[in-house]
Each structure stands twice: as C-alpha cells, then as structure tokens.
Chains A and B, each alone.
Chain A
C-alpha cells in the first residue's frame, strides 16, 4: 500500500499546504508516501528540492501541458500513472484548494473511484477511509465513509492540521516519470494573473480576525479591523461579505 500526495505550487513556489498534506499522508499509516510534482518542462527539480527530506520519494512529471496549472492535464497524468503502476496507491491526497477543486473531481471521474473533498480530518478505517467534514456553512460536522477503491481520492482543507506539520527528516529519492498526457485536452493554461495588488493569502496567516454575514453593517467592520491590528492578525471575511463589496476579495 502507498499514499500519493499531489504537491501544490504556484508561480514556481511550493505552497505551504503541501507540507500539511505530507504530514496527513504519513499519519494515515497506509504505507510510504510519494510526493508528486507536476510542472512545466524544466521546472520540476527546483520544486522537488523544496520537498527534499520530507517524503521518502518524489516523483516529477514534466510536460508542456502542465505549465502553470492545468487540472485536466494533471488529472490525465495521474490517471495514466495509476494505471501504469504495478501497485496503485491506496490514497491520493490533495489540497481542497482552487487547484484541488479542479483536478481532484476530474480524476475521480476518470477513475470512477470514491472521492471526498474538503476534509478536516481523515483516518484509515477498515479497507478504506473515514473523513470528517464541515457542512452547512460550518454549522454541522459530518462523518463519511469512502468506498474501497482500489484507489480513493481525498482533498484536505488547508490549515486543518492540529499541529504544525512535523515530518521526520528522511532521505528522498527523486524520480521522474512520463505520463503520456494527450496532446489535445481542450484546455490550456494561459497565464497567472495577480488580480488584486497587495493581496493577502489568508490560508497562510497565523491569526485571522474573520468577518461573516453576522457583521450586519459595513461600519461594524471597523471593530474587526481594530481588533486585527491589536492582535497583529490578518483581517479576513467570508464570501457574502465580499459579494456585497464590504471588503475586497483578497480577504
């Protein structure tokens, strides 16, 4: 048995959530963890280097269709790798992120396999996995069980690790693989766009002061701002607050 972790990176930098995923993967106790780095030609080794010592094995897949981020290409590559491997991974872990929301369901469709998204806790149970999720806008927790696979997919909500990712230092073997991604996927990455100058990545903040619908009035946001400042925290908000333009979207 083994666990595959899909590394998440953007614009040449590994995203923090990848380390969390490696930590989650190791904790499952379902065999060794392999980190998979999907990248454009020539970008893989630098990205893999940032994972050095954090997983026993890193697999680099480079292809021009993987430049930037292309969930369809990544799902196609994963499907091929899984079908080629003598022992397919029991679990494929990814982040519940903008990227994860694109490639993971696509892969689930390709493999016709069980999948669960936006998981806050994950554990091996019997021949498969049990996951805890937050549903109904955070008002309830739900527990779900995945089918047996052979492989199953789970995406994990960033920041849901109880502690800092702690990975015992280890030697990493770096391998490369060719995934024979079809030339015509019908979907092409065009560019990263830095939509909002001075944006804040709230998934990376230590302390958040978060504003939701309950704030009721735009003026009340001042309270949250003052508190955030006093705490040295980052101000964030839920989507409805953005949608009525009370706070900019990068929050």
Chain B
C-alpha cells in the first residue's frame, strides 16, 4: 500500500481571545500556539493504522512555512516514512483552491493507493481540500468518514450524517478519504518516535517544483478571496451563575424569560 496523508499546521484558538490585525484581514499572531489541525491528527492516526495492518509506505505532506514543519515531524514521529513540505511565499494565506493546486503538484507522478485528509481545518473550516484534490487526481473521494476498513482493493467506510444517522459507502482504490474526528484515538508522540523522526527525510518543494506558475496561483486565488475578518458583535460581559445544577438551571431560565425572545 502506498499511503499519503495531508496535514495542516493551524493556530490553536480554543483558549485564545482572537484579535483582528490592523489590516482587517489577519489574526494577530503573537502568542498563539500552533498545532496540527485536529481533524488531521485523526487522519494521520488512521493512515498509520492502515500502514501497520497492511504494510506499505506512508508519506506525509504539508503546505506551510518552516515553522509548520513541526506538524510534519509529528507525522514522522508517529510512523510516517517520509515527509514533503511545499512552500512558496505566494502560498501565504492562500485559499483552498491554491493550496489544492500545491497539494496536487506535490504528489506529482507518484501514485498512491490511499490518500487521507482531515475533513476540514479548524481555522477556516472550508472542508474543500480533500475532494478538490481527489478531482485533480481523478480518483473518487468520500468525505466525513468516521469508520473505515481497507480490504481487497476497496475501502468500506461509514460517513457520519446528522441526527445520529450514518451512511455506508464502498469506494474503489485508489481513493481519497476525508476523516472526521473521533474515528480513532490518536496516539501520543513517543520520545523514541521523535528521535527516529530526526533520521527521516523532509523534502522541500517550492512553487516551481510543484509546477505552479504565478498565473495559475492568481487564477486559483481569484476563485475565493478574503475581504476581511471581524470580531462578532458581543453582548455585555458574561455572568457566572453558581449553585447546584437545579439552581443554576432555574436562575438561567429566569434570566432567559426576562430577556424574552426564546420562550
């Protein structure tokens, strides 16, 4: 099996108060910690599980600057055999179309039996990359998978739907699968893994080596462009209600009734 996994390095905003930078288009970086996108961690684990059970080679890909390499090292530390990082200044802040063009270029002539991506990323949450890449490669894709099994040239998956429903789908390999969180339990990185990762190669590619011209980049960027970001309007400061569950609920109910609208 030749397996590929694509991962993204994103700011971890769970605990952060985000501020919009003066340009009105970017988030003030400063102290924000960056992590591997949560969905990608599950995709990576799934890729390692497939490799462990069926054998083969796992290549991890990332489009990102040098700081983002941390996420690639994580891939190598948990079991990827090699890593490819694509970067070009023109890709800074790129939309999913431009990123996908780079992803497609990074794969080049290589043929993978199975390509895994996270179903979406926690920063802009488009969820476009996976299926777009599949189309660019001419392979079938299936999105939002929360259970999968590779067997006999096929992958049998369950997709997670709304309201507790699922859908079973069978896809012929080569295929691209986008992974929903919770599909597995991503392993912790071990010290031995970190040491092994140091000995594995990280190949660097730029726009030229992935075959994207400036014109191509411009065309892809044109498809979806950012006008600006803003902090959503917030109401007054929060009030923390204390007491037993019943008391808190009662107080909350009273407040909501008073505020009107919902009831």
Contacts and interface: CB of A to CB of B under 8 A. Distances in A.
Interface of A: 10-11, 68-72, 97-99, 101-102, 105-106, 108-110, 113-118, 130, 133-147, 185-204, 207, 213, 222-223, 225-227, 229-231, 239, 242-243, 249-250
B211 to A, nearest CB: 16
Nearest to A105: B131
A238 to B, nearest CB: 10
B239 interface: no
13 contacts: A70-B169, A105-B129, A117-B127, A142-B228, A147-B222, A188-B170, A189-B167, A193-B158, A213-B14, A223-B245, A226-B245, A226-B249, A230-B249
Contacts of A105: 127-132, 143
Given A114-B224, A137-B14, A139-B18, A249 B182 contact: yes
Interface string B13-32: 11011101000000100000
Contacts of B223: 113-115, 146-147
Given A109-B136, A140-B231, A143-B226, 15 more contacts: A102-B159, A116-B126, A117-B128, A134-B125, A140-B20, A143-B228, A185-B140, A193-B167, A194-B165, A194-B166, A195-B158, A213-B14, A223-B248, A226-B249, A239-B181
Nearest to A195: B166
B227 A101 contact: no
Contacts of B97: 114
Contacts of A140: 18, 20, 27, 229-232
Please give me the 5 A-B residue pairs with the lowest Cβ-Cβ distance, nearest first: A199-B164, A109-B135, A201-B163, A250-B164, A105-B131
B132 A243 contact: no
Interface in B32-53: none
Contact of B182 (A97, A190, A242): A242
Contacts of B215: none
A136 B133 CA distance: 23
A186 to B, nearest CB: 4
